[in-house]
Amino acid sequence: MSLFIQSAFAEGAAQAPGTPGAAAFDWLLIVGMVVLFYFFLIRPQNKRAKEQKELVNALAKGDEVVTAGGILGKVAKVTDDYVVVEISNGLEIKMQKSSVQATLPKGTIKSI
């Protein structure tokens, strides 16, 4: 015990009477948050993944592409997992298909 400070003892808090719709409101709030997460996070991410997969599967020789590193080039050869991209006359690099970020319209590289 201290000389100047009195000891304080916690007293049990009074129980608030539960409202009849509180539990339903809590569940409604949780379901609402799940729906928001689905429409704002999960659904757009799945859509982007599907578009990327379609882009990678549609790669063909002669397509002009941009890689994830920002390299512009023309597809010279396509295999199951890899693609050979010609970035300059006689200079080719081999990379994974998944590193292709986007395809460009024909003639874009020449116009740059």
pLDDT at 22 over 60: yes
Find residue 100's DSSP bridge partners. 67
Q: Where in the chain are the domains? A: 21-58, 60-112
Residue 6 has pLDDT above 90, yes or no: no
In the numeric block, the tokens 């199951």 are attached to 80
Over 70: is that where the pLDDT of 21 sits? Answer: no
Locate 13 and state its tokens: 């808090």
What pLDDT does residue 7 have?
Answer: 73
pLDDT over 60 (residue 1)? no
60-112 to CATH, choices 2.30.30, 3.30.230, 3.40.190, 1.10.10:
2.30.30
Query: In this structure, are residues 42 and 31 in contact, taking their beta carbons and an 8 Å threshold?
Result: no
pTM for this structure? 0.69
Give the separation between CA 36 and CA 46, rounded to whole angstroms: 15
The answer, yes or no, to whether residue 52 has pLDDT greater than 70, is: yes
Token pair of 85 as six digits: 């991209």
Please choose, from the candidates 98, 92, 111, 106, the residue with its C-alpha nearest in 3D space to the C-alpha of residue 64.
106
